Amino acid sequence: MTKTSLQQLASCQDDYDPNSMPVNQARKFIRNFLNPVTAIETLPLKAALGRVLAVSVISPLDVPSHNNSAMDGFAFHSQDIGTEPLEIIGTAFAGKPFTGALKTGECIRIMTGAVIPEGADTVIMQERTQVTGDLMAMTEPPRPQTNVRYAGEDLKAGHAVLEAGRKLRPADLGLIASLGIGEATVYRKLKVAFFSTGDELVSIGQPLATGQLYDSNRYTLHGMLEHLGVEILDMGVVHDDPAALEHALIQASSQADVVLTSGGVSVGEADFMKQLLEKLGQVVFWKIAMKPGRPLAYGKVGQAHYFGLPGNPVAVMVTFYQFVRDALLHLMGQNPVPALPVLKAVCTEPIRKLAGRTEFQRGILFVDADQQWKVRPTGNQGSGILRSMSEANCFIVLDDETGNLPAGTEVDVQVMEGIL
């Protein structure tokens, strides 16, 4: 990416206005500049949880490898239905097959998972039979070919079981293991460095002087990054000093794929950061048409992707969920990147909202006594009120056109992590 390309692309876009950038347009713009990691590594299966598959997993075998019983009961040929009782000539256990072949009028006792023997195509569950000595009668005959799991019905040999680009989940590890494969080839971990900016910030362990506050952004960022499964470089607090900021940006961009900073991009502070970022890379400054999270800087510092997030604790988290999360998953190689789930829920309170911008109000999604999904706003929606994020489990997403809403309105709700 050259200096002109970022600016050119910006100016090529219809209705590009850095001072009023719609959320979706900013997302699309960012996507155009992402270069996902390409280096790969092969890991033992358990260590690959949460990593992104770089090479599709092809099944070397059929799973299950043989037709087998889905029930404890008796295996026989469906042609014998109506001619019972059948003679019980043996037993098949899971892992200990009956080795003979069945003839007309014969059946075997069979356990769940045991191989269906030659000459049989149907299983009747034990509870629907009556056994007298070595004879089995059916109280409720099954339909032909029932209660059989067929070879390859889970996975077929030669087929792609999991495609490259998939972020591996617990079931995927099991699926790969079921093929007898003990490792996975994944993209290398993405490295993300971050630091907080602000003369007023103090790290935990130091006393607070008047006007100072503890840096909380590095902790929320750490938590969100940890959940995404990236390698984290926490570079501490950097004061609003050009030399210190320049040093920190150079350090961060030389060690990481992505650099995140919080603070210093709002009006009043931005000029100063702008000059610095122009010197070190190419960065665009936007005023996003959203609340919270209006100022956002995006671009490259050296070879690293750069996000300059606002300083307000809620704005940091909102911009992370709305822009950074999606970008990082792309950079990690995940394809496609799933959006955060959006549900409809009835809002229990009236909502105050200005048209012309997207708002991400904090809400608590819950099921009421009538089993209906409801959402309750968390009260004070100020962008410095971090407690509102801690109480919330979702964002109430109110689009540009929406204005004030009465209680009882159905709204879009975006789930952040889990409901609990």
Q: Which residues bind Mg ion (CB under 5 A)?
A: 198, 263-264, 311
Q: How many Cβ atoms are within 10 Å of 372's Cβ, its own excluded?
A: 10
- The residue written with tokens 């009747």 in the block is 124
For residues 28 and 138, the answer to whether their CB atoms sit within 8 Å is: no
For residue 310, state whether it binds ligand AMP (rule: CB under 6 A). yes
CB of 235 vs ligand AMP, minimal distance in Å: 12
Residue closer to ligand AMP, measured from CB, 220 or 402: 220
Respond yes or no on whether the N-terminal peptide bond of residue 60 is cis (omega within 30° of 0). Answer: no
CB of 284 vs ligand AMP, minimal distance in Å: 17
From 59, 312, 358, 361, residue interacting with ligand AMP (rule: CB under 6 A): 312
Distance CA 320, CA 81 (A): 64
- The residue written with tokens 């699926």 in the block is 175
Angle at 118 between CA 114 and CA 123, to 5 degrees: 50
Residue closer to Mg ion, measured from CB, 264 or 295: 264
For residues 185 and 45, the answer to whether their CB atoms sit within 8 Å is: no
Residue closer to ligand AMP, measured from CB, 253 or 262: 262
Q: Which stretch binds ligand AMP (CB under 6 A): 57-65, 162-170, 179-187, 198-206?
A: 198-206
Distance CA 106, CA 220 (A): 68
From 41, 121, 154, 269, residue interacting with ligand AMP (rule: CB under 6 A): 269
Q: DSSP class of residue 182?
A: -
Residue closer to Mg ion, measured from CB, 216 or 335: 216
For residues 41 and 94, the answer to whether their CB atoms sit within 8 Å is: no
CB of 391 vs ligand AMP, minimal distance in Å: 18
Residue closer to ligand AMP, measured from CB, 267 or 339: 267
CB of 263 vs Mg ion, minimal distance in Å: 4
CA atoms within 13 A of residue 367's CA, in its CB half-sphere:
4
For residue 281, state whether it binds ligand AMP (rule: CB under 6 A). no
Which partner in Mg ion, ligand AMP, none is near 172 (CB below 5 to 8 A by kind)? none
CB of 383 vs ligand AMP, minimal distance in Å: 8
Residue closer to ligand AMP, measured from CB, 281 or 311: 311
Amino acid, single-letter form, for residue 51: R
Residue closer to ligand AMP, measured from CB, 272 or 366: 272
Which partner in Mg ion, ligand AMP, none is near 299 (CB below 5 to 8 A by kind)? none
- The residue written with tokens 């009421």 in the block is 368
Q: Which stretch binds ligand AMP (CB under 6 A): 83-91, 173-181, 257-265, 355-363?
A: 257-265
CB of 18 vs Mg ion, minimal distance in Å: 20
CB of 295 vs ligand AMP, minimal distance in Å: 7
For residue 196, state whether it binds ligand AMP (rule: CB under 6 A). yes
For residue 201, state whether it binds ligand AMP (rule: CB under 6 A). yes
Residue 304: strand pairing partners: 301
Query: Where are any strands of DSSP class E within 239-313?
Result: 258-262, 281-287, 290-291, 295-301, 304-309
Which partner in ligand AMP, Mg ion, none is near 212 (CB below 5 to 8 A by kind)? none
- The residue written with tokens 């190419």 in the block is 282
CB of 265 vs Mg ion, minimal distance in Å: 9
For residues 332 and 229, the answer to whether their CB atoms sit within 8 Å is: yes
Which partner in Mg ion, ligand AMP, none is near 85 (CB below 5 to 8 A by kind)? none
Q: Which of 343, 347, 342, 300 is nearest to 321 (CA)?
A: 342
- The residue written with tokens 């005959």 in the block is 141
Which partner in Mg ion, ligand AMP, none is near 67 (CB below 5 to 8 A by kind)? none
Q: Which of 420, 336, 299, 414 is nearest to 5 (CA)?
A: 299
Residue 413: strand pairing partners: 343, 396
Which partner in Mg ion, ligand AMP, none is near 266 (CB below 5 to 8 A by kind)? ligand AMP
Residue 122 token pair: 């149907």
Residue closer to Mg ion, measured from CB, 264 or 377: 264
Which residues make Cβ contacts (< 8 Å) with residue 223, sequence separation at least 6? Answer: none
From 73, 142, 293, 313, residue interacting with ligand AMP (rule: CB under 6 A): 313
Distance CA 166, CA 179 (A): 17
Taking residues 206 to 245 in sequence order and writing x for each that binds ligand AMP by CB under 6 A, - otherwise, the string is -------x-xxx----------------------------
Residue 135 token pair: 């004879």
Residue closer to ligand AMP, measured from CB, 217 or 402: 217
Q: What phi and psi values does residue 399 have, to the nearest 5 degrees?
A: -75, 175
The binding site for ligand AMP (CB under 6 A) comprises 196, 198, 200-201, 213, 215-217, 262-264, 266, 269, 310-313
